[in-house]
Amino acid sequence: MWSIKTFSELTTTELYAIYELRVKTFVVEQQRIYQEVDAIDLQAHHVFKIVDQQIVAYARIFKEANHVSFGRVVVAENQRGRHLGADLMHHILQVIAAHYGERPIQIEAQVPVQGFYQRFGFTTSGTPFLFNHTPHIKMIKPALATETQLKTTNQPSDQSAS
């Protein structure tokens, strides 16, 4: 089951499971020593999937000054290869369209997975940089409201010329 919650809506059990998955993946598996828990969690929308009482996919979505961003995109190691990453991206984009649709999207993707985000319409911007000892690249996507408005304005009009 997929869930979308603000920080205050998360149960303590869900919060623990989210932090456990993030630390297991980003700190232990990827061997990156950094402060995993930060203040962004307090303002973010948290998107996650639960299978057999375990969080198996997760991301957080948050507003920046001039854009919306998301990060901590993770699929549990024992669930990889089952297209959960693509399902998660579809949920992320739905939440962005519903809550932040007028803002462009900007993320800092790990360089090895930039192709994954390109499949969802993201393009690279600039050159790679190190973030928490890992090569990242800025990726952007236009505001989703703009895409929706374009689809609407390209529809044939019901009005006839007089």
Residue 158 lies in a domain: no
Where the chain has pLDDT below 70, the residues are 146-162
Residue 160 resides in a domain: no
Q: The whole model's pTM is what?
A: 0.84
> Which pLDDT does position 157 carry in this prediction?
37
* Integer Cα distance of 41 and 6 in angstroms: 9
Coil, helix or strand at residue 140: strand
Beta bridge partners of 48: 3, 58
Return the pLDDT at 153: 38
Q: Tell me if 159 is assigned to some domain.
A: no
Q: 32, 133 in Cβ contact below 8 A?
A: yes
pLDDT of residue 134: 86
161 found inside a domain: no
> Domain limits at 69?
2-150
User: Which CATH number fits the domain that encloses residue 76?
Assistant: 3.40.630.30
Is 47 a member of any domain?
A: yes
Total domains present in the chain: 1
Q: Is residue 156 part of a domain?
A: no
